[in-house]
Structure 1
Amino acid sequence: MHPLFIDPYAACFLPPYTKKELDIDEQQHYCLATKFIDDKLLEIAKRIDGLKQVVLFTDGMDTRPYRLNWPTSTMIFDVSPEKVFEIAYDKLQGVGARIPKSCLFFHIPVESGDIEQHLRSKGFSGNRPSIWAMQVMSVIRQISLFLCN
């Protein structure tokens, strides 16, 4: 059986004992949602001419900016909690994760209050096409939401 996707960076977030204790059913739902969102993000980004804007609402530990093969000129905005992002960023750098050279990556702290203003200050333009995605995992079920404007 072939995996739906391979995330070479996810293990850097897990303590060794946790890897054996993951709920298989919950992980299957999460993997299906992740694969769907990954494929949709890349499909839409590849159809947009010129500069691409991707806004990811994350928990701060999203590996998509590092593991997906983003088209040239993609601007990726990660909206997430500052402290979690800083810890995750350090761990990802420690395992060699890198944003593609032809792309730009910006973190927007969710605590900043005016997220729209913060996005604009980093170069986001509401006059250009953008892709917005959010994936949330709860204890009971996986909820996936995909927005595109």
Structure 2
Amino acid sequence: MTNQAAMNDGVALTAVGAAAARAVESSREAALITDPYAAALVAAADAPVPFPVVWPAADAELTEQQTMLLMGANYVGIRSKYFDDFLLEAVDNGIRQIVILASGLDTRGYRLPVPAELQLFEIDQPQVLDFKARTLDSLNAQSNGKVIPVGIDLREDWPAALRAAGFDAAQPTGWLIEGLLVYLSGPEESELLNRVNGLSASHSLVALEGAASLPEPSAEDLERLREASKQSGLPMAEILKIMGGRQPLEDTLHGLGWTAQSSTAEQVALSYNRHLIDPRFAPAGQSPSAPGATLLSAQKN
């Protein structure tokens, strides 16, 4: 399987979708982030899904699929801004070691003004990181900090691979866990956070996007998810685990010795003068808001 073909399969395809969303956000008049490499990464992937990479003109006629993808892009722009701000604040607070779990095609080490001595470890599937590195090399992209790829599936012994790449568990670390927990079951989420905690020195920081705790999906829920998958072109019905029994992330982190602060995604959006659902996509007669994820940041005591 070629690098390009590998990017069109399963979870890797969602990484392309997230890059497309960052390209869309970067094109907006009042953009929350700027990712100058996102559109090129999407083009290089040649995905089977026609991801938008620009925000549409006000009078543009959109298909149902385009509308769904642009609604998702609006949220990803908000989420990306939250995690960008967290990373920059961590650096301002003296953190010089950042780990991004399931980093996908994001280019924070290239697009954010981080110091040259910052070590930024990116953990993701090897084919995703290899594809990103090849594409960025073709663009002559230059990193600001030291970007260190760690190609491994998170179901494997990634802490050992991280240490082998030069990670120092004795130093405070900044962790970014974005767009990941929604793919994990409750027990998998707990295992991941226990591993993160075991690698974190005192005063380490973490930012997380918490998955909603929902009951086991009914047959009707699964059918709606399959329909959403069909409309968007993304394999959500296969890879999204909507499962109950999740302990609130704040409780989990508190039990591990972290002090956490959380906001709903809508609260974060409003702080950026946005809504989770852009008003142009809100159903007629309804408020442009929607239930969403929880965004948290925490410090280890």
* Bin for the TM-score computed over the shorter chain: 0.7 to 0.9
Higher Cα Rg: structure 1 or 2? Answer: 2
The root-mean-square deviation of aligned C-alpha atoms, in Å, is 2.7
**TM-score relative to the length of structure 2:** 0.43
Correspondence 1:8-87 to 2 at 5 A: 8-15=36-43, 17-19=50-52, 21=66, 23-48=69-94, 52-87=96-131
- Number of residue pairs aligned between Structure 1 and Structure 2: 145
TM superposition shift of 1:120: 1.7
Q: Is the CA contact 2:116–2:146 (under 8 Å) kept in the aligned structure 1? A: no
Unpaired segments of 5 or more residues in structure 2? 1-28, 54-65, 183-235, 241-291
Structure-2 separation of matches of 1:72 and 1:148: 24
2:153 aligned with 1:111, yes or no?
yes
Unpaired segments of 5 or more residues in structure 1? none
* Structure with the larger RCO, 1 or 2 (CA within 8 Å, 6+ apart): 1
User: Runs of 4 or more off by more than 6 Å in structure 1?
Assistant: 140-143
TM superposition shift of 1:110: 2.2
Identity %: 23
Structure-2 separation of matches of 1:107 and 1:143: 28
Counterpart among 171, 193, 206 of residue 128 in structure 1: 171
From the superposition, tell whether residues 46 and 6 of structure 1 become closer, same or farther in structure 2 (CA, over 3 Å).
Answer: same
Secondary structure at 2:110's aligned position in 1? helix
**TM-score relative to the length of structure 1:** 0.82
Segment of structure 1 superposing worse, 85-94 or 16-25? 16-25
Structure number with the higher helix fraction is 2
Correspondence 1:90-101 to 2 at 5 A: 90-100=134-144
Structure-1 separation of matches of 2:299 and 2:126: 25
